[in-house]
Amino acid sequence: MESPRDILKRHGLRPKHSWGQNFLGDADALQSIADALELRAGEPVVELGPGLGHLTRFLAATGAQVTAVERDRDMVAVLEKEAIPGVRVVSGNAATVDFAQVAGVPEIALVGNLPYHLTSSILFQVLAQRAHISRAVFTLQKEVVVRLAAEPGNRDYGLLTVLLGLHFDVEEVLTLEAWRFHPPPKVDSAVVRLTRLASPRAPLVDEARFTRLVKAGFAQRRKTLINSLKSDKGLAKPDVLLAALQTAGVDPGRRAETLSPAEFAAIERALGPVTAMAPPPPDAPEPDSDPDADDAS
């Protein structure tokens, strides 16, 4: 298999650091990623950020129908020139694209080596579009995968852990050391598999309110749950929040990182019917990565 360095040289290109381009050309790792997706012949799969097409070739070798979504025009040109059999190349932004629509089918499998700086945006898109995604396999910064797969009570447990955990089984598949990429990033990566559940782990009254509740819970991690929730003054009045915690059987003195997705869902249900809520406070999103770390793509 031709290395990323050689393909770039053949096309007169260099990795774009500002785009988070770190290309994976390790055949064993690429095969493991393709295997983790468990594709069937003829099954539609959307690859986000295919880059030079290394993983794309392994996906196509399964007989799946591959739609490769790439926003870098140089990479689109490379993929079109490489003309990998069974692959359709689409120019688009992975953070905004409608995954199933771009493939022209109602449900897809999803895979990609995601730029670190777009990780949260894409994962929130996965949540929003989950009805059309049977499963997803992503290469992410190692510490992000650890966070997504964390259990309640772990310091790595956070907002996306809960939101994804309500709707998906989340599993770390393997670690990818930095040296496997060209150019190597400053941190290791890992592969995570998300498998959509047949139904959420717990019912909700309103998905948007659940998301807002969890965001409020983690907005001030060092505070008790009741004090964190009260920081979003538009969520509910303090006495209503306290009553909801009591109804859900959740100690208001606990911290958000100790609650399971089902416990957060119980609090959301206990808030009762949805009424008009004031706009939420500005987001303070969890960091995807060390600000000094290189991006990968």
Half-sphere exposure of 41 (CA within 13 A, CB side): 1
**Token pair 């004090």 is at which residue?**
227
For residues 140 and 126, what is the distance between their CA atoms, to the nearest angstrom? 14
**Token pair 């499963």 is at which residue?**
135
CB contact at 8 A, 66 and 45: yes
CB contact at 8 A, 111 and 46: yes
Tell me how far apart the 2 most distant CA atoms of the chain are, in Å.
66
For residues 243 and 261, what is the distance between their CA atoms, to the nearest angstrom? 19
Buried b (16+ CB within 10 A) or exposed e, 50-83: bbbbbbbbbbbebebbbbbbbbbebbbebbeebe
* Residues in binding site: 22, 24, 49, 70, 113
CA distances for 262 relative to 27, 66, 159, 202, angstroms: 40, 35, 14, 5
Query: What's the token pair of residue 234?
Result: 């538009």
* Residues in binding site for S-adenosyl-L-methionine: 22, 24, 49, 70, 113
